[in-house]
Amino acid sequence: MLFMVEMTVRIPQSLDPQVAEKIKADEKAYSQQLQREGKWRHLWRVAGLYANVSIFDVKDADELHALLTALPLYPYMEMKVTALAQHGSAIAQN
């Protein structure tokens, strides 16, 4: 099942820069692993913002929740989740 997730990152100025770099590196590695597994199907940057638009392909809302809350940047992210269905005019299957 597909979900659109819109993530906005707000890292507080008080966070130690080295800690921040470590978290971002972990985030990137974890994100790329999920992409290779096909669970994080698309990842786009919102131009100009520290934000992304993502499409997740998961079994259900429980798997989505587990994946998202395991993101290293999760404590610094604001999330918006939208459940997606097959569109009747789409030529591809979800």
Q: Is 64 in the site for its own copies (CB under 8 A)?
A: yes
- Kindly state the helix (H) or strand (E) to which residue 8 belongs, with its residue range: strand 2-9
Pairwise CA distance, residues 50 & 66, whole Å: 23
Cβ-in-10-Å burial (0-12, 13-18, 19+) of 16 comes to exposed
Q: Is 16 in the site for its own copies (CB under 8 A)?
A: no
Q: Is 89 in the site for its own copies (CB under 8 A)?
A: yes
Interface ranges with its own copies (CB under 8 A)? 1-5, 12-15, 27-28, 31-32, 35-36, 42-50, 52-53, 55, 60-62, 64-65, 68-69, 75, 79, 81-92, 94
